[in-house]
Amino acid sequence: MPHSPTSDGRSPWRATVLTLFPEMFPGPLVVSLAGQALEAAIWSLRTISIRDFGLGKHRAVDDTPAGGGAGMVMRADVLAAAIDHARIEEPDAPLLYLSPRGERLDQSLVAELAAGPGVLLLAGRFEGVDERVIPGRAMREVSIGDYVLSGGELAAMVLIDACVRLLPGVVGAATSLNQESFEAGLLEYPQYTKPREWEGRTIPEVLLSGDHKKIVEWRRAEAQRLTAQRRPDLLKSHKTGEKS
C-alpha cells in the first residue's frame, strides 16, 4: 500500500509496532509536538496485534521455556508470521526488538533512525522471545536503559518520540536541536528565564550582558562542567572525537 506524501512532497516517516496491546497506542504520542506532527502527516503510526497470528482457538502466542524455568516465552513461529505480515507494507524499515539486553538507544542511533524511512518495532512481553526469531528475521536489539519494563510498548513510544522530534518541520526552531544534550557529545548547559531574581537566586550576569561571544563561551564551559560532573563517560568520548 503506498504511503501518502506530506504537503512538501516527502513520504512520511513511518512507525509500525508489533504488540500484544495495540490499545496502548498512540498514548502520549498523540499530544504535543509528536501529536501535531502526526496530525500533519509528517509521520504515521500503525500497530499490528501479535495476537492475530496466535495459534489455536485461544490464539496462543507463547509457551513454556525450553529447559524449564519461570514465565513464558513468545513463540518464534507466531512472531515470524506477524513480522512477515508487517513486511508487506514495510520492506525497508529496520526491524528493532526492544530488549533490556540490546545496544543502548542514544542520540546517534536516534538520528540514524530518524533519517531513514521509519521503524518496525517488536514490543516483547513475558520472559522475552524465542532466540531463534532474532537472527531468523535479522532483528536489531535496542534498549532504552539499564532496567526492565513490563513490556516493550513504553520503550517503543520513547524511541518513536525521540525520532519524531528530529523530523523536518516538527520542532519550530530547528537550530535549537543542535544545542540539546548529546548533540555535541555534551550535556546541555543550564537555561534561565524571567524573573531575573527568584527566591534569592539570580540569573548569571553573563547571560544578561548582551555579549554573544561571552555567552557562547559560558554555555560551553557549563556544558563541559555538567558533563564532567554527571557523565564523565560522555566527556571522554567528546574529547576523543575532537582529536580525531
Q: How many beta carbons lie within 10 A of that of residue 59, not counting itself?
A: 13
| C-alpha grid cell, residue 151 | 513490556
pLDDT at 244 (0 to 100): 47
Q: Are residues 74 and 181 in the same domain?
A: no
Please state, in angstroms and rounded to a whole number, the distance separating the CA atoms of residues 154 and 123: 9
Task: Say how many domains are in the chain.
Answer: 2
Mean pLDDT per 10-residue interval, the chain, length 244 residues: 54 97 98 97 98 97 97 98 98 97 96 98 96 98 96 98 97 61 79 97 97 97 95 77 54
Q: Are residues 31 and 116 in the same domain?
A: yes
Q: Are residues 114 and 190 in the same domain?
A: no
pLDDT at 235 (0 to 100): 83
Which residue type is seen at 105?
L
Give the residue numbers spanning the domain of 229. Answer: 174-243
- Of 164, 199, 219, the last residue of a domain is 164
pLDDT at 85 (0 to 100): 98
In a domain, 5, yes or no: no
Nearest to 205 by CA among 187, 189, 223, 192: 192
Q: Are residues 138 and 183 in the same domain?
A: no
| C-alpha grid cell, residue 154 | 513504553
| C-alpha grid cell, residue 210 | 548582551
Q: Are residues 135 and 222 in the same domain?
A: no
Q: Are residues 193 and 239 in the same domain?
A: yes
Q: Are residues 121 and 184 in the same domain?
A: no
200: left (phi over 0), alpha (psi -120 to 50) or beta: left
Please state, in angstroms and rounded to a whole number, the distance separating the CA atoms of residues 165 and 161: 6
pLDDT at 184 (0 to 100): 72
pLDDT at 185 (0 to 100): 82
The answer, as to whether pTM is greater than 0.85, is: yes
Are residues 97 and 133 in contact, defined by beta-carbon separation less than 8 angstroms?
no
- Sign for the CA dihedral angle at 187, 189, 195, 196 comes to positive
Please state, in angstroms and rounded to a whole number, the distance separating the CA atoms of residues 129 and 120: 16
